[in-house]
Structure 1
Amino acid sequence: MFLFQSPAKPIWRQTWLRFCVMSGSLAGLAALVLPQLPASWSKTLRAQVAAQPTLISSALPPGSDAVPNVVAEPRPAPIDSVVRPYLAMSQLSYSLTEHVLAKHQAAVRYKQAVAIAQQALNLRQQGNSVELKRQEIALWQDAVSALGTIPSDTPEYVQAQAKIKEYSTIATVVNRYLERQQSAFLKPIAAAGGNGSAVRIGLCQLGTTECRSFQGNVPPVSLASLVKLPLAVALMHQVTNAKASLDELIYIDPANFTENAQGAKIFVEKTYTLREVMVRMITESNNIATNQLIDYMGYDAINAALKAEGFTGTSVGHKLVGSKTFPKTMGAGLNRSTADELTQMMMRIYSFTKDSDEEILNALVGQYDLDFGYRALVKEKPNIFWIGEKTGQNSRVIGSTVAFKVGDERYVMTVTIDKSKSQGRLRQIIRDVARHVLDHGPLDQSSTAPKIARNF
């Protein structure tokens, strides 16, 4: 034991040190080792000594500053006081080791991230196929993840943050290129039979993040009755947040009268439940019901609800007009959305993201107007099945957002054509897109794996 091999010391000090160590005193251990430890270790052990409640004031011989107090009377030490000094030393050693390792790991992770990024760049030399681009995006994302684990108190942190921004930007650019590449098949479909620049297409596979788009982020010149889908989403937001009840009775104001499709059953100066008004707005494409719902919620609440649901490119600004009769308060804003956002609304509804989505889905399945998507797909059975739809048409646009099934997979698609009344062309685009999915397989190729494997 090094205590008894140290240079000769006064008898009183040797005896005292031996006694303290043998009795398990933290003070004794500190007096022995503090002068030989680095400053940071000494500071920690001094704090431990100062915290001992069993120490009392007792001066050391003049000139000794190792420990300010010593034990007044020797007495048997409990087990924890014997172990405590060694635990303190172990904890201090562990803390210092962890700090050193953290700095080392930060440097290693930074180098790994840079190496991964270089692998991503090397992939570009191999070609521009879809699979290679997917691998490249995955590598950029891995590099960003590695950089994100670097602690803020390490020298590499500032560089890591700069690299995160750089690599994230590159990943976004490559992802957009991949999306355009994967969506290229939509361009000839849109151009067939007319002006392709007037067409907007959004397509997504349910249960995945895979979507395809042709001008899907460009708003059509008008929403026509397609605005009824966002209105239903906004209403269900209010219901979910206890700001409305579907069982509430509402009065149909004569000021909201306009022409409706034949067979529509909402009449002015009558009272209906909020649920019936919403359902008939969808199933009958009922204009009077639409106008009353706009009054019921108000434009500000509608648009706030849509933003809260994540549909920032969609807004409601005016009521609907039938053949010629305007409601008394028309509104001065725009009804605006995109094929991509309408498709995302359908994705959410058909995925049952919220309990209230079932109310809208039931209305979509009961759509009375079957001239667009339904007629486009009905002859494609048993390979393609129509599931549900919301249509829209006026003098400025024709369109439909439709759900359908190919094999075991479900899809939603929105198609609009500006300045067109051609139902035949709209049906052909819907049919051609669905057939492409049938012929080339799911958008998410991993969905071709056996169902049990996918669930696992």
Structure 2
Amino acid sequence: MILFRSTAKPIWRQTWLRLLLLSSSTLGLALLVMPRLPSEWIVADQANPATVTVDTNVESWPESSAPETAPGSAPLLRQVSTDGIIRPYLALTQLSYGLTHRLLQKQQGVASYEQAIGLAQQALSLRQQGSTLELSRQEKALWQDAVHLLASVDSDSARYSQAQTKLKEYGTIATVVSHRINQQQSEFLAPIAAANGNPNAVRISLCQIGTDACRSFRGNVPPASLASLVKLPIAIALMHQVSTGKADLDEQIYIDPSNFTENAQGSKIFVDKTYTLREVMVRMITESNNIATNQLIDYMGHDTISAALQAEGFAGTRVGHKLVGDSTYPKSMGAGKNQSTADELTQMMMRIYSFTKDSDEEILNALVGQYDLDFGYRALIKEKPNIFWIGEKTGQNSSVIGSTVAFKVGEERYVMTVTIDKSAHQGRLRQIIRDVAKHVLEHGPLDQPLAPKVAKKL
């Protein structure tokens, strides 16, 4: 039996061990180490000299107390610490692994870069075959795969600098292709907008709740006015204050007479009265209450509303002034503009109907309780049971007519915002809402993949 003994001699000073540092092979380590073990480390079992073992369970004694052995008998085994001997081998093994891993990373970086270049060439070749929606989707997938490969190139790779340059270039191209796909997918909205009037006055935004699938016709262009649609972002801003602990829906607030203006018949918020913050917000939505809106603007302030909307991700929406009924202007009217887009209003509704925050349910209950049923509700009621209206906020003044409405087709839910500038044509608004919803009914969910057409072999 062979047994390792501890030694006080620094093992790292030996020439043979320095050679190990130059080796990246575990087998090489063994070939270098085994023939060079000092003879004083070894106690041989004469009966079986070819056997090499290390028994870590053998009892050990100090030198002074070790029992004597009879002449001619086998030497007694004494356990010694092997930590000092094994530790260098472990360190060298780790070093070998690290060097090998880094080498493989460098090689993989070069391979990933070259593969990304190949995918880009395929994408460019695919574009030459045509510009159909199916081909555009395939092209987008190739650019995205190329971007992912370039992003994986390690900073130690010889191709890293080139990969970073191509990463920006291909990322920009992928964004352009995505925009082209969105336009192609939204083409069905153009004839709907053009029916019965000037399409340039129309904005349409449509999204499927729970997905990223959206369609838009001039949805990123602000309408001439928001009218009462501005009440939706005000509710969003208020609930942001509530969710951050800066407001309490059970708080009693006074309705200042200076915020008086005309309201729709049947509205229940009156000046010089006190109501809970919850009731003021709910009636602002359900009754489209102008007095409630003006009081909430005073309660939060324009700067707070803007900051809250910014924090909620709606940077394109502004609340710059209070609302006027038939003729009476409230005090401290405000000099800014109320502004948003159909796309952003739709995203607000998407957020609410997705129950992203606990506070969203408060607004949703108000939307479902909408008193004004002349726009989206009336447009879709005839389509039951295929299409169900599930909530809405309307708006109309001398500059715009519009609605942001939620509806359900089958098991899927959708939100649509439609506005028409310089129009009071409720019939046209209802027709657009109905036609968009029926398109969804006839063609299926927005997020369903089209049956792919196989591109020509590249």
Could you say which TM-score interval applies, normalised by the shorter chain?
Answer: 0.7 to 0.9
CA distance in 1, matches of 2:193, 2:151: 42
User: Is 1:316 aligned to 2:315, yes or no?
Assistant: no
Q: How big is the shift at 1:37?
A: 5.8
The one-letter code matched in structure 1 to 2:331 is K
**TM-score normalised by structure 2 residue count:** 0.83
Q: Matches of residues 301-380 of structure 1 in structure 2 within 5 Å? A: 301-380=304-383
Show the counterpart of 1:248. Answer: 251
The one-letter code matched in structure 1 to 2:14 is A
SS at match of 2:197: coil
Structure 1: which 5+ residue stretches go unaligned? Answer: 1-18, 42-72, 449-456
Show the counterpart of 2:395. Answer: 392
Aligned equivalent of 2:187, options 179, 184, 191: 184
Residues 34-77 of structure 1, C-alpha deviation per residue, up to 9 Å, x if partnerless? 55466899xxxxxxxxxxxxxxxxxxxxxxxxxxxxxxx9x974
Aligned length: 399
- Are the structure 2 counterparts of residues 24 and 76 from structure 1 closer, same or farther at C-alpha, using a change threshold of 3 Å? farther
Superposition RMSD on alpha carbons, in Å? Answer: 2.3
Q: How big is the shift at 1:131?
A: 2.1
Show the counterpart of 1:165. Answer: 168
**RCO higher in structure (CA 8 A, sep ≥6):** 2
Runs (4 or more) in structure 1 with deviation over 3 Å come to: 21-26, 34-41
Show the counterpart of 2:117. Answer: 114
CA distance in 1, matches of 2:229, 2:16: 81
- 8 Å contact kept, 2:355–2:361: yes
User: Is 1:28 aligned to 2:11, yes or no?
Assistant: yes
Residues 397-437 of structure 1, C-alpha deviation per residue, up to 9 Å, x if partnerless? 00000001111111100000000000001001001111111
The one-letter code matched in structure 2 to 1:198 is A
**TM-score normalised by structure 1 residue count:** 0.84
- Are the structure 2 counterparts of residues 35 and 435 from structure 1 closer, same or farther at C-alpha, using a change threshold of 3 Å? closer
CA distance in 2, matches of 1:36, 1:377: 83
CA distance in 1, matches of 2:194, 2:317: 26
Show the counterpart of 2:216. Answer: 213
- Are the structure 2 counterparts of residues 369 and 35 from structure 1 closer, same or farther at C-alpha, using a change threshold of 3 Å? closer
CA distance in 2, matches of 1:235, 1:276: 12
CA distance in 2, matches of 1:396, 1:104: 63
User: Is 1:154 aligned to 2:137, yes or no?
Assistant: no
User: Is 1:223 aligned to 2:223, yes or no?
Assistant: no
Aligned equivalent of 1:265, options 264, 268, 271: 268
Aligned equivalent of 1:141, options 141, 144, 147: 144
Indicate the percent of aligned positions where both proteins have the same amino acid.
Answer: 73
CA distance in 2, matches of 1:415, 1:404: 13
Structure 2: which 5+ residue stretches go unaligned? Answer: 25-62, 64-77, 452-458
- Are the structure 2 counterparts of residues 229 and 82 from structure 1 closer, same or farther at C-alpha, using a change threshold of 3 Å? same
Show the counterpart of 1:382. Answer: 385
Show the counterpart of 2:291. Answer: 288
Q: How big is the shift at 1:32?
A: 2.9
- 8 Å contact kept, 1:25–1:82: no
Q: How big is the shift at 1:146?
A: 1.2
User: Is 1:439 aligned to 2:442, yes or no?
Assistant: yes
- Are the structure 2 counterparts of residues 26 and 108 from structure 1 closer, same or farther at C-alpha, using a change threshold of 3 Å? farther
CA distance in 1, matches of 2:260, 2:227: 17
Q: How big is the shift at 1:109?
A: 1.2
- Are the structure 2 counterparts of residues 85 and 26 from structure 1 closer, same or farther at C-alpha, using a change threshold of 3 Å? farther
- 8 Å contact kept, 1:317–1:332: yes
SS at match of 1:336: coil
- Are the structure 2 counterparts of residues 24 and 376 from structure 1 closer, same or farther at C-alpha, using a change threshold of 3 Å? farther
The one-letter code matched in structure 2 to 1:382 is P
Q: How big is the shift at 1:263?
A: 0.2
- 8 Å contact kept, 1:26–1:84: no
- 8 Å contact kept, 2:116–2:146: yes
Q: Matches of residues 410-425 of structure 1 in structure 2 within 5 Å? A: 410-425=413-428
- 8 Å contact kept, 1:26–1:81: no
SS at match of 2:171: helix
CA distance in 2, matches of 1:25, 1:414: 83
Show the counterpart of 1:99. Answer: 102
Q: How big is the shift at 1:26?
A: 7.8
- 8 Å contact kept, 1:23–1:76: no
Q: Which has the higher helix share?
A: 1
- 8 Å contact kept, 2:12–2:18: no
CA distance in 1, matches of 2:11, 2:333: 89
CA distance in 2, matches of 1:282, 1:408: 26
Show the counterpart of 1:46. Answer: none
Is 146-155 or 260-269 further displaced after alignment? 146-155
- 8 Å contact kept, 2:20–2:92: no
SS at match of 2:263: coil
